[in-house]
């Protein structure tokens, strides 16, 4: 049995509430040792993890690990939001009573860390001094050293963050117990994994994984689910799965900030790290703030909406990250950055890493290369010859400060004023490149009807979206009707409101299916148009679903698209929109208590489409 008080006292951790919390869970999980973690412990922990073979060297100052083969991603069906109030049940939050989930998790976790070290990771999800700092503090307890190493990169970690709290008891209690991964029945009816946020007790209990958001509890469990609930309960802020960028106009000296949500596999990280296209780089600079989470609040001093990225690092998907798609991401994982790679392919002779899309073809000389499961490529059975070398959800974990175009003020606790909020999907035939929305309720309505196309017929009806409201479907923690009302309230309370827009980089040619827009760096162009529209410098063209750019309003210097291609991406397919609007009605009807303003917005858009034929 660990000597909790000796370990905490030795680390200078005085907060009595934290001490009691650690004592409780150390006893319950049966951890053999307690170790308190500060960011300055990184080099020592890396050394220990290398010595134990838990991580492998991947070139200078970079590391590699493999997860258990059945533990490679977030599990939505095993994730629950619990409270003591049944009225908190929504459509997507998998609500369960707190009184049922806490005993269940205690049972799973009892004795499950026997013989292991419990790492105590005090962290904050905000820069010190943020107006939202009282929602930012947490203490993760984890029995996995690699998780502690990830937390050091993804959050601000240190004892001083937790000992100096204004309210000593106001921290998120975040307990992570890995469990015996080989015996958890992942994906079977007897699946033992359970990932619970008890939102009204500000307690996160995750059992049965050491991967990503299942285990790094500052990120989506605290940064999204808990924070969204706190933001709603306090009435103060929104916590969204949004990227956040700055656009600086070097000619005028103006700086703009844009945030927004995209369902997975819609290029959110690439957009967040985008550089200006060569033809525009003399005038514009894109600054990176964050790729996954933004907290938004109205500032009473100047009446603007401010956003922060509560994270300290990037947990990015490796697949398809290349010099073409995302050179900034590659630079952020260069030698010397302390990057941790997970589940990519690894060469144990050269210590190189590789993933699909890193280069057009895999390394020609397969000597030493192992796939993400650890199997030598040269020894893979014939039937696996075409299997990917890296897992599709393989990741790189690196600090924000390693991103070459990180904003100079990324650490400013006040955050940055938001000019535009964008939503984007991956839509082959209906959505134009960009459509701007100037009305708040219509903007929120657009976010609530965000979706991704079903990827193959088996997943859904052709043309029917898998709706992913605000890209928050897996992170919703309270009912959708209240969520929409909270959006209207927070953004509506700002005297100067951001403009909304829906973007789509993925429109295809109806004939041969090729992409009509080059994407990547060129995505800056529609965003510049949006900011000009907001400034009243262009007028666009009104359509039933928003304002789209007139052809001569987009700066296309250096873009190879043909006039026909531009014609298509700057047009609305009215018959397809009429189909879509019916699906939206059914989607929204699921949500009890949806504000009347949202229904009115829906009816306005439907009526405008009706008149359009």
- The strand pairing partners of 313, in sequence order, are 399
Least distance (Å) between residue 192 CB and ligand SPV: 19
Give the residue with the Cβ less far from ligand SPV, 2 or 329.
329
**Piece in contact with Mn ion (CB under 5 A), picked from 119-127, 290-298, 385-393, 583-591:** 290-298
Binding ligand SPV (rule: CB under 6 A), the pick from 292, 419, 442, 453 is 292
Contacts of ligand SPV in 74-113 (CB under 6 A): 74
Please report how close the Cβ of residue 187 comes to ligand SPV at its closest, in angstroms: 17
| 597 is a site residue for Mn ion (CB under 5 A) | no
CA 562 from centre of chain: 35
Residues 6+ positions from 535 with CB-CB distance below 8 Å:
none
Q: Which of residues 480-539 bind ligand SPV (CB under 6 A)?
A: none
Shortest approach of ligand SPV to residue 76 CB, angstroms?
A: 9
Q: How far is the CB of 328 from ligand SPV (least distance, A)?
A: 18
Q: Which is nearer to ligand SPV, 213 or 310 (CB)?
A: 213
Query: Min. distance of Cβ 119 from ligand SPV in angstroms?
Result: 19
**Closest to ligand SPV by CB, 35 or 240:** 240
Length of the chain: 613
Under DSSP, the state recorded for 247 is E
Taking CB under 6 A as the binding criterion, the range among 144-152, 161-169, 212-220, 361-369 that sits at the site for ligand SPV is 212-220
Binding of Mn ion at residue 291 (CB under 5 A)? no
Q: Going by C-beta distance under 8 Å and a sequence separation of 6 or more, which residues neighbour residue 146?
A: 49, 54, 55, 65, 210, 340
Q: Does 219 engage in binding with ligand SPV (CB under 6 A)?
A: yes
The nearest distance, CB 496 to ligand SPV, in angstroms, is: 30
Residue of 191, 331, 355 lying closest to 275 (CA atoms)? 331
Query: Which residues, including other chains, have CB under 8 Å from residue 297's CB and lie 6 or more apart?
Result: 131, 132, 236, 237, 238, 305, 306, 415, 490
**Alpha-carbon distance 343 to 341, whole Å?**
7
User: How near is the Cβ of 547 to ligand SPV at its closest, in Å?
Assistant: 30
Nearest distance in Å: CB 217, ligand SPV: 10
Task: Give the single-character DSSP code of 510.
Answer: T
When CB distances are held under 5 to 8 angstroms depending on the partner's kind, the choice from Mn ion, ligand SPV, none that residue 168 binds is none
Of 98, 118, 124, 104, nearest in space to 176 by CA? 118
Count other C-beta atoms under 10 Å from residue 282's C-beta. 10
Window 238 to 277, contacts with ligand SPV (CB under 6 A): 264
For ligand SPV, the binding residue among 171, 237, 289, 315 (CB under 6 A) is: 315
291 part of the interface to ligand SPV, by CB under 6 A: no
Instruction: Tell which one of 41, 133, 240, 292 touches Mn ion (CB under 5 A).
Output: 292
Residues that bind Mn ion (rule: CB under 5 A) add up to a total of 1
Residue number, 152 or 221, with CB nearest to Mn ion? 221
Q: How many whole angstroms separate alpha carbon 131 and alpha carbon 176?
A: 28
For the chain, the straight-line distance linking the first and the last C-alpha, in angstroms and rounded, comes to: 74
Total residues interacting with ligand SPV, rule: CB under 6 A:
8
CA distances from 244 to 42, 169, 294, 450, 486 (A): 28, 31, 7, 18, 21
Q: Does 206 bind ligand SPV (CB under 6 A)?
A: no
| Cβ–Cβ < 8 Å for 485, 477 | no
CA 397-402-408 angle, 5° bins: 130
Residues in contact with ligand SPV by CB under 6 A are: 74, 212-213, 219-220, 264, 292, 315
Residues in contact with Mn ion by CB under 5 A are: 292
């Amino acid at each position: 049995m660990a000597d909790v008080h000796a370990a905490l006292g030795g680390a200078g951790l005085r907060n009595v509430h934290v001490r009691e919390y650690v004592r409780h869970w150390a006893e319950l999980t049966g951890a053999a040792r307690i170790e308190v973690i500060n960011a300055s412990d990184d080099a020592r922990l890396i050394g220990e993890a290398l010595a134990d073979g838990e991580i492998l060297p991947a070139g200078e100052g970079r590391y590699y690990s493999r997860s258990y083969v059945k533990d490679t991603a977030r599990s939505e069906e095993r994730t629950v939001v619990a409270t003591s109030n049944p009225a908190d049940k929504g459509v997507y939050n998998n609500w369960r009573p707190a009184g049922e989930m806490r005993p269940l998790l205690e049972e799973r976790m009892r004795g499950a860390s026997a013989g292991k070290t419990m790492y105590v990771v005090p962290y904050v999800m905000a820069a010190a001094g943020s107006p939202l700092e009282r929602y930012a503090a947490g203490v993760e307890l984890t029995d996995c050293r690699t998780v502690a190493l990830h937390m050091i990169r993804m959050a601000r970690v240190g004892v001083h963050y937790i000992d100096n709290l204004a309210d000593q008891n106001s921290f998120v209690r975040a307990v992570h117990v890995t469990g015996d991964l080989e015996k958890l029945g992942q994906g079977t009816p007897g699946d033992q994994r359970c990932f619970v946020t008890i939102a009204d007790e500000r307690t996160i209990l995750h059992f049965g994984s050491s991967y990503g958001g299942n285990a790094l509890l500052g990120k989506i469990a605290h940064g999204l689910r808990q924070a969204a609930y706190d933001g709603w309960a306090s009435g103060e802020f929104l916590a969204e799965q949004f990227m956040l960028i700055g656009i600086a106009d070097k000619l005028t000296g103006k700086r703009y900030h844009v945030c927004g949500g995209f369902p997975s596999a819609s290029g959110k990280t690439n957009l967040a790290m985008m550089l200006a296209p060569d033809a525009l780089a003399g005038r514009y600079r894109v600054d990176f703030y964050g790729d996954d989470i933004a907290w938004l609040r109205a500032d009473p001093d100047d009446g603007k909406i401010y956003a922060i990225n509560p994270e300290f690092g990037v947990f990015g998907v490796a697949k398809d990250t290349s010099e073409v798609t995302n050179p900034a991401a590659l630079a952020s994982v260069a030698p010397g950055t302390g990057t941790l790679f997970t589940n990519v392919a690894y060469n144990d002779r050269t210590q190189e890493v590789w993933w699909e899309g890193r280069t057009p073809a895999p390394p020609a000389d397969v000597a030493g290369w192992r796939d993400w499961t650890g199997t030598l490529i040269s020894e893979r059975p014939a039937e696996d010859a075409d299997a990917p070398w890296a897992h599709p959800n393989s990741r790189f974990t690196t600090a924000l400060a390693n991103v070459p175009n990180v904003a100079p003020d990324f650490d400013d606790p006040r955050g940055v004023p938001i000019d535009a909020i964008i939503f984007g999907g991956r839509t082959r035939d209906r959505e134009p490149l960009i459509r701007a929305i100037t009305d708040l309720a219509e903007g929120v309505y657009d976010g609530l009807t965000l979706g991704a196309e079903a990827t193959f017929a088996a997943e859904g009806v052709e043309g029917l979206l898998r709706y992913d409201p605000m890209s928050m479907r897996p992170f919703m923690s309270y009912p959708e009707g209240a969520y929409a009302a909270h959006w209207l309230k927070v953004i509506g309370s700002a005297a100067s409101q951001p403009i909304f827009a829906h973007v789509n980089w993925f429109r295809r040619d109806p004939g041969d299916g090729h992409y009509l827009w080059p994407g990547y760096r060129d995505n800056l162009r529609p965003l510049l148009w949006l900011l000009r529209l907001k400034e009243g410098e262009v007028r666009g063209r009104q359509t039933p679903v928003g304002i789209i750019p007139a052809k001569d309003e987009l700066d296309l210097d250096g873009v190879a698209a043909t006039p026909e291609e531009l014609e298509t991406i700057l047009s609305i397919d009215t018959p397809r929109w009429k189909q879509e609007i019916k699906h939206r009605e059914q989607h929204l009807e699921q949500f009890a208590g949806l504000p009347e303003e949202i229904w009115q917005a829906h009816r306005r858009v439907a009526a405008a489409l009706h008149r359009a034929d």
